[in-house]
Chain A
Amino acid sequence: MSALLQFEGITKRFGGVPVLRDITLTVEAGTTLGLVGENGAGKSTLMNILAGNLRSDAGRIFWDGRPFAPAGPAEAAAAGIAFVHQELNLFPNLTIAENLFLTRFPRWGRLPWIRRDALGTQTVRWLREVGLEATPETPVERLSAGERQLVEIARALSLEPRLIIFDEPTTSLSDRETRQFFELMSRLRARGLTMIYISHTLDDVLRLSDRVAVLRDGALVAHGPRADFDAARLVTLMVGRSLNQLYPTRACWEQSVPAPAVRPLLEVHGLTQPGVVRNVSFTLHASEVLGLFGLMGAGRSELARMLFGLEPFARGAVQVAGQPLQGNSPRRRLQHGVAFLTEDRREDGLALEASIADNLALVTLRRHARRGSGWLNRSALAEAVRSIRAAVRLTPTARDTAPARTLSGGNQQKVVLGKWLLAEPQVLILDEPTRGIDVGAKFEIYQLIHQRADAGAGVLLISSELEELIGLCDRILVMRRGELVDELRRPDFDRERILRAALHERTAA
């Protein structure tokens, strides 16, 4: 085997802060390299240098034995490097086929007319390869996040690359799509394609890679065949300390501590919206962390959005602390003490260009304004920001005035969580609060969730990661195709039973 790709002493700084320190790493042709590290460890930066989006400050890259310094993404693509990004880079208004072939439409010779027939057949071929059932003419905006990810992968494959970089490709895929994607990866590997696979799901990395490289704070801290690693060791290497456990325990789970009194906080009766949810009833109690599990498309997020007044429902009733909910706006929900951390922090969680302080203060701004004039008490506001920064342990290096965009994913999520926690909600709805953030930040967010529950709030936690729900919740509800199909208490938590309830669709019907 020969080295297809070599990094030699790659170093990169952003505004004086080193993000990559002297990375030397070899990828053999036909192998898969698993690249892991916390957010901000430098994985994406390293890949962006390889893909021509960034230039390194020092060091060299050898591609196929020759020095390689791509001036831009086009040059990297021409050399045979394809990059499937974590954030989707598709044009939602264009069709799948147009997205795939935007820069190289099949044409009639050199004439500027597109050969629609060839475009269609070629697109169908790549869609079949990734297992997406959609016609080439489907506009991308009609696809789900998972399907868009598959289109992105199809586009990368259609370049017929020699090396393909997957940066967190499964975060927006459903379980079924993830399995299909892994099958695709093994087919590609069998065909001799070289791959770099970046993921926070360590079990997947260990299963799919030949070799594993671990980055921490911009430095390569470990590199070797996958047999040298297990998940626990990877975590230790990534965070630089050993995490005794992945999930915190609550005091009330101990036998010796009496369980808190059961007081219903959020009561949902017969919530129905045709095609989305059907007859959903449940109760969330004070001091309870209630998990909501289901596959993509089961209606979990939609249910949460209905509870927060962002989507309508046809029938049903919702009460908070015995009071029926009034009106249908997030503002009214806040007045009832309900808070909602949305699934997509970039789209509707943060103002990326606004400062960290402004983001943190937004939800509770009214409390610091004088009635009538709206004059803000700036010292009280600054004090609130200071206290919540400490409470969520936001990175101390970021200034209050820096745009939220400059934070890493984990810190951005702490800002979103912080702005809701400032409102001291009695009902906290969290939709995928730890998606795409690193292990250390995850643990801190778990602790914050438990703290809020210990303070008497009810937490409704939606997650695609079953392990997370099992680790954190007092009770788990399972949702399938818009209906609640199972309910388990902590002593009865059973991975298999939950998965079966969530999956068991066609056979049961």
Chain B
Amino acid sequence: MASHHPPRTTNHEPRTPWLVRWLGGEHLVLWLVVLSFVGLLPFTPDLASRENLANLLLTLLPLLVLACGQTVVLITGGIDLSACAIMAVASVVGGLAMNGDTGWLTGSPWAAPVGVLLMLAVGAGLGALNGLSVAVLRMPPFMVTLTTMMAGGGLAIWLIRSETIYNLPPAFNALGGRLALATLITVALAGGAHLLLSRTLLGRWLYAIGHNARMAHISGVPVAGVMLAAYVLSGLLAAAAAVLYTGQAETASPLLGQRLLLDVIAATVIGGTSLFGGRGKVLWTLGGVAFIKLLDNSLNLLNCSFFTITMVKGAVVLAAALLDATRCRLLEAEA
């Protein structure tokens, strides 16, 4: 990333100031994460402590998985508001199936793997519901996923009557709770999403649809199928995030990820993925997620109340949007 270092004295392009190049660079957010980490360190030395870093990473992982799904959908020019509700339903269904007291799979050695598959199936199914409504019935993604969010949230609570389910199989809890394992799963999923977007036919088609769906249709892209795939993928990744979260908490709960939706969307957009489609990368999303999580974590360490954290986060998201608008303008002027 040497190109981001300011003073390049040889300077074959004298009219591109380093600030513009830095602001326009695609890893700006990752740099901001590093800068804010270093900047916050003097105020909260605990930030760099071993336990804190482990904790930070552990909570970052499921958010990243969720945000990868969101990235895929945003690239098509859509949005998935239901991701967190899908996560809650998957968590509850998994809990109902696997718990040691009343679960359908109680005592079976296959409880954990079958439970995970069941959760993924729930995610894919709800995602397919979104996808079919958007791609085949041509309903606006915002409305479709909003209703799925409301219905899904209700369904999750109704399924277990507001209870919380404990006593999940240890093998299952390890998936989300053991840092190394959870990291491995997340890296695999995010890496897979990255390769899908950058190196496969489906990935190119997702971008093409986000840029100009009519043009894509005329150019022979199976638009409906690709849109369906995007929402199914988002649902699947939401279910995978449910596996991580549920394992981490060792409880299945319909309230899982209730407040997460805005974090997910904010993180994705801060990373640089466009709400209008056609632009976005997993690597950018990683930066956005890390930034949001770092903010959360450091404000927590500074003993800020939940409300203060929310307000500061709002302000920071606004600032990020402003930064994005500024750099788009700068890049436009450069072009």
Task: Please give the residue numbers on chain A whose beta carbons come within 8 Å of chain B beta carbons, in ascending order.
Answer: 14-16, 308, 310, 329-331, 333-334, 340, 342, 347-354, 358, 361-363, 365-366, 369, 373-376, 378, 403, 406, 419
Contacts and interface: CB of A to CB of B under 8 A. Distances in A.
Contacts of A358: 204, 207-208
Give the most central of A310, A348, A350, A363: most B CB within 10 Å: A348
Given A351-B215, A365-B205, A375 B220 contact: no
B74 to A, nearest CB: 15
Nearest to A381: B204
Contacts of A361: 204
B1 interface: no
A406 B204 contact: no
B46 interface: no
Given A15-B15, A354-B208, A354-B278, A348 B200 contact: no
B15 A16 contact: yes
A342 B219 CA distance: 10
Interface in B96-124: none
B335 interface: yes
Interface of B: 15, 199-202, 204-205, 207-208, 211-212, 214-222, 278-279, 334-335
A427 to B, nearest CB: 14
Contacts of A363: 219-220
B220 A349 contact: no
Contacts of A376: 199-201, 204
Given A351-B211, A353-B278, A406-B335, A362 B204 contact: yes
Given A374-B200, A419-B219, 11 more contacts: A15-B335, A351-B215, A351-B216, A351-B278, A363-B220, A369-B201, A374-B201, A375-B199, A375-B200, A376-B199, A376-B200
A330 B207 contact: no
A329 B218 CA distance: 8
Contacts of A375: 199-201
Contacts of B211: 351-354
Contacts of B204: 358, 361-362, 365, 376
A351 to B, nearest CB: 3
Nearest to A402: B335
> How would you classify the secondary structure of chain A's contact residues: helix, strand, loop or mixed?
mixed
A416 to B, nearest CB: 9
Contacts of A352: 211-212
A310 B215 contact: no
A351 B200 contact: no
Contacts of B205: 365
Contacts of A334: 220
A330 B219 contact: yes
A16 B222 CA distance: 41
A348 B201 contact: no
B27 to A, nearest CB: 16
Contacts of B202: 374
Contacts of A16: 15
Contacts of A354: 207-208, 211-212, 278
A376 B15 CA distance: 37
A362 B208 contact: yes
Contacts of B222: 329, 331
A348 B220 contact: no
B200 A347 contact: no
A329 B216 CA distance: 12
Nearest to B214: A348
B278 A362 contact: no
Given A351-B278, A354-B207, A376-B204, A362 B214 contact: no
Top-4 shortest CB links A-B: A351-B211, A374-B201, A369-B201, A374-B200
A373 B278 contact: no
Given A354-B208, A354-B211, A365-B205, A330 B15 contact: no
A374 to B, nearest CB: 4
B62 to A, nearest CB: 27
A419 B278 CA distance: 19
Give the most central of B202, B218, B220, B222: most A CB within 10 Å: B218
Contacts of B208: 351, 354, 358, 362
Give the most central of B15, B208, B215: most A CB within 10 Å: B215
A350 B218 CA distance: 10
Contacts of A349: 215
Contacts of A378: 199
B335 to A, nearest CB: 6
Contact of B215 (A15, A329, A333, A348): A348
Give the most central of B15, B205, B212, B220: most A CB within 10 Å: B220
A342 to B, nearest CB: 6
A366 B216 CA distance: 13
15 contacts: A330-B218, A333-B220, A347-B215, A348-B218, A351-B216, A353-B211, A361-B204, A362-B204, A362-B219, A366-B201, A374-B200, A374-B201, A375-B200, A406-B335, A419-B219
A15 B215 CA distance: 30
A132 to B, nearest CB: 28
Contacts of A403: 335
